[in-house]
Amino acid sequence: MAFAELLDQVGSQGRFQVLQTVALVAPIMWVTMHNMLDNFSGAVPSHRCWVPLLDNSTAQASVPGTLSPEALLTISIPPGPNQEPHRCRRFRHPQWQLLDPNAMSTNWSKAATEPCMDGWVYDRSTFTSTTVTQWDLVCDSQGLKPMAQSIYMAGILVGAAMCGYTSDRFGRRLVLTWSYLQLATVGTATAFAPTFPVYCLLRFLVAFAVAGVMMNTATLLMEWTSAPGRPLVMTLNSLGFSFGQALMAAVAYGVRDWAMLQLRTPPPGWLAESARWLLITGRLARGLRELQRVADINRKRAAGEALTTEVLLSAMQEELGVGQAPASVGDLLRTPRLRHRTYPSVLCWFAIGFTFYGLALDLQALGSNIFLLQVLIGVVDIPAKTGTLLLLDRLGRRPTQSASLVLAGLCILANTVVPREMEALRSALAVLGLGGVGAAFTCVTIYSGELFPTVLRMTAVGLGQMAARGGAILGPLTRMLAVYSPLIPLLVYGAVPVLTGLASLLLPETRSLPLPDTIQDLQR
C-alpha cells in the first residue's frame, strides 16, 4: 500500500484530480445516452394496417359519396381489444354494412380479416422515425425490439469481460482510448445501418465500447485519488449518469429521428495512465513520469523532482515482488478472502442491473409521457446519490449498500398493492425505486474498487459489470411473466434487491482504508 504515500507526496486531492474528474466525467453523460437510447429511438408509436381506401388516393376516388376518414376507418379496420382500431389486422374487403347506424360493431367475423399484407401506417406526431417504424418491428415482429435490447446488453457483458482483463494487462488509458475511438466510429455507423441485423451488430459493438469507457473511467478516478476524496469523485462519476438520463430526455425531445439520435457520441476525455497500475506491473519509468507530471500540475514540483527510480523501488519493493506475478479471475474464487468478497459484490451488481433496466427500459409501461419520466429518473437520482455520499462517510460502505438496495426493493414491492388506476402514485413509486437503485450503484462503484487489490481490480469490476449486464438482459425478459399475473414482475423486481441488500451485509467495511495493491495486502 506504499503507493498511497507516494500519491500524497505529489498531491492526492489537487488541481490534477479536479481536471481529471471533469475530463472523465463529462463524457459519461453522453455515454449514458446509449444505455437509454432505446426508450426513444425504439419507441413504438400507434399504428394500423395500410388500407387502400384510407391511404391510396386512387382507391379513395372510387368511393361513392363523401365519407369521413372515421367512416373509412370503420369499414377498413376491425376494432382491437380496447375498441380502438386493430393494430395488426384489417378487413379483406370493406365492410359497408358497418356504416348502418343500427349495425352492431361485432357484425363481422374474424374470417373477414387478414394480417397487414401491405405494411403499416404509423402515428408520427411524436417521433418522425424510430427503429420500429424503420423495420416494422410490430405485430408478429414485435419480439425483435426486446431482442435488440438484449443484444445491446450482451455487448456490455462481453465488453466488461474483455475490457476488465485487457485493462489489468495493458493499462487503463490504452483500453479507454480505444473504447472512445470505437464508440465514435461504430456509433456513427449505426445511424446508417441498412438492415435490422446490421443495426443489432453495430449496437453490440457500441455496447462493447460503452463498457470499456464506464469501467476504465471509474478505475482511473479511484486510483488517482486518496481514501478521503474517493467517495466524492466516485459520486461525481455516478452523477454523470444521472445528468445523462436527463440529457437523454432533452436531446430526444429535440431530435425525433432515431438515426440522428445515434450520432450523439461523447468527446474523449483527457487521459493519464494510472501510475498505481504502472508501478505495480513493474513499469517504473512510465510510472515515475506520470507522478512527476501530477506533481507539476498540483504545484508540488519539488516533491516530483525528489522522486527517482531508486525511491520508487524502495517504496514499492514489497508490492513489486508480488505485483508482477500473473493474476487471473481464478484468484477471485480460489483465495478465501477474495472469494468472500466476490460473491456478495457480484450479487449487488446483478441486482442493480436487473432492477434498473427491467423498469427503465419500459418507460411506456410506466406512463404516457416518456420524456417527463426520463427526466424524473435523472432528477431523482441526483439527491439520492448526493445523500449517498454523506452516508458513505458517516455510516460506512456496508450499511449504505444494504440500505439503498432494501429501500429500492420496498418501493417497488409497494406498487403491488397500489391500484392501476392510480397511475401517478405508481409512477412515483417506480421512480423512487429507481432512485434507490441509483444510490446503490454509486455505492457499489466505490465499494467494489476498494474491496479488491490493484492487480485484480479491473478484473473484479469487469466481473461485476458482467453480472450487471446479465441482470440487464434478464430484467426486461421478466416482464413476460405478466401473462400469468401482472404482479409477478413487480414481485421479482422488488424481491431481488431486498434479498441482495441483506446478502451485502456479509462484505467487510472499507471506509477510510487505503486501496490494497496486492492479494497479500488483503491478508494483512
Per-residue pLDDT tens over the stretch 201-224: 999 999 999 988 988 888 888 888
Helices 457-478 and 487-503 pack at an angle, to 10 degrees, of: 160
CA distance 24 to 240: 10
Same domain, 399 and 483: yes
CA distance 398 to 392: 9
What confidence score (pLDDT) does residue 1 get? 47
User: Quick check: 320 and 279 in contact, CB under 8 A?
Assistant: yes
Same domain, 477 and 432: yes
User: Quick check: 229 and 17 in contact, CB under 8 A?
Assistant: yes
CA distance 77 to 95: 9
CA distance 206 to 187: 6
Same domain, 500 and 517: yes
Residue 278, C-alpha cell as written in the block: 504502472
pTM: 0.77
Nearest residue to 398 (alpha-carbon basis) of 522, 514, 505: 505
Residue 9, C-alpha cell as written in the block: 507526496
Residue 450 falls within a domain, yes or no? yes
Please give the residue range of the domain that contains residue 496.
Answer: 326-523
For the chain, percent of residues with pLDDT exceeding 90: 13
Domain termination site, one of 89, 122, 155: 122
Domain termination site, one of 122, 145, 166: 122
User: Quick check: 25 and 306 in contact, CB under 8 A?
Assistant: no
| Helix, strand, coil content of the chain in percent (nearest 5) | 70, 5, 25
What confidence score (pLDDT) does residue 373 get? 77
Same domain, 188 and 66: no
User: Quick check: 288 and 7 in contact, CB under 8 A?
Assistant: no
Domain termination site, one of 290, 323, 356: 323
| Domain CATH number, residue 417 | 1.20.1250.20
The pLDDT tens digits along the chain (524 residues) read 477 777 778 877 888 888 888 888 888 888 888 888 888 888 888 888 888 877 776 655 566 666 777 777 777 888 877 777 888 888 888 777 777 666 555 556 666 788 888 888 888 888 888 999 899 888 888 878 878 888 888 898 888 888 877 888 888 888 888 998 898 899 889 989 999 999 999 999 999 999 889 888 888 888 888 777 778 888 888 888 888 888 888 888 888 888 888 876 556 656 678 887 787 777 888 888 888 888 888 888 888 778 777 777 776 665 555 545 555 667 777 778 888 888 999 999 999 999 988 887 766 666 557 787 777 777 877 888 888 888 888 888 899 999 999 999 999 898 888 887 777 787 788 888 888 888 898 889 888 888 888 777 778 887 888 888 888 888 877 877 877 887 888 899 999 999 999 999 999 888 877 777 777 777 66
Residue 41 falls within a domain, yes or no? no
CA distance 147 to 156: 14
Same domain, 22 and 73: no
Residue 40 falls within a domain, yes or no? no
Same domain, 29 and 75: no
User: Quick check: 369 and 491 in contact, CB under 8 A?
Assistant: no
Same domain, 442 and 345: yes
CA distance 362 to 476: 8
Element (H, E) at 427: helix 423-451
Same domain, 265 and 229: yes
- Mapping DSSP to helix (H, G, I), strand (E, B) and coil, where does residue 90 land? strand
Give Cβ neighbours of residue 486 (< 8 Å, ≥ 6 apart).
none
Nearest residue to 245 (alpha-carbon basis) of 457, 518, 33, 498: 33
Same domain, 173 and 312: yes
- DSSP lists the bridge partners of residue 91 as 113
Residue 106, C-alpha cell as written in the block: 361485432
| Domain count within the chain | 3
- Mapping DSSP to helix (H, G, I), strand (E, B) and coil, where does residue 81 land? coil
Same domain, 339 and 415: yes
The count of residues in the chain is 524
Same domain, 204 and 352: no
Residue 295, C-alpha cell as written in the block: 506533481
Same domain, 337 and 311: no
